[in-house]
Structure formats: C-alpha cells, structure tokens
Amino acid sequence: MIRSKQGWHLTQAYDLLPDVSNNREHVLHFGTSGTTPSMDALYALGKTFGISPQMTRAIIDEVINAVSGFSTQCEAYAVPAENMARLIGRMHLLDKKGVH
C-alpha cells in the first residue's frame, strides 16, 4: 500500500498481463474468467497447471486467509476507515463457499 494526499491506496502491480483492452490499467485475469473467478474456474486453472484438487483447495484457502486479514493490517497501520472501506470494496473477496 502507498499513502498519498488522497489517503491510502493499493500499490500498482506492473507487467502482470498486457492491457489488451487498452483500458490503460494493469490487470490480473484468471484464465478466461476475468478478474473475479468462480471456484470452478480456479479448480480448472489448478488442473491446467497439474495441481491436484486438494492442493488447489489448500492454495485457495491460503489466499482467502491472507486476504481476510487485510482489515486487521489496515487497522494496525492506522489506515482511516473510509480508505479501508474503499480498498476492501475493490477486492471482491471470496468467502469459504466460493461465492464472489
């Protein structure tokens, strides 16, 4: 994260994927599922890369657990509530059931 005069913001990630839509932004897509993949899409990606369904689930759980602690980290660094709400709203968090 980075702080500017407008508050806290997620830092930019560069060179993840080319901007094929020419939106002038950096994006991360999950296969053909876009930026908010379903659980089925995540399992399909795991299969594509030779990852077992059990390991895929373990990876998904690890990411969910890490992202679930985001608000705690914001509080630890005194990120104002309005900035935290805006950032979390952009994250499209998955819950344990795979709903996004």
**Burial class, 44, CB count within 10 angstroms (exposed 0-12 / middle 13-18 / buried 19+):** middle
pLDDT at 65: 84
What number of CA atoms fall less than 13 Å from residue 8's CA on the CB side?
A: 17
pLDDT at site 12: 65
**pTM for the whole structure:** 0.55
The one-letter code for the residue type at 59 is: I
pLDDT 10s digits, 2-52: 778 888 776 666 555 555 666 665 566 676 666 677 888 889 989 988 999
Q: How far, in Å, are 19, 54, 56, 79, 97 from residue 68 at the CA level? A: 28, 21, 18, 16, 14
Q: Which tokens hold the place of 73?
A: 């980290």
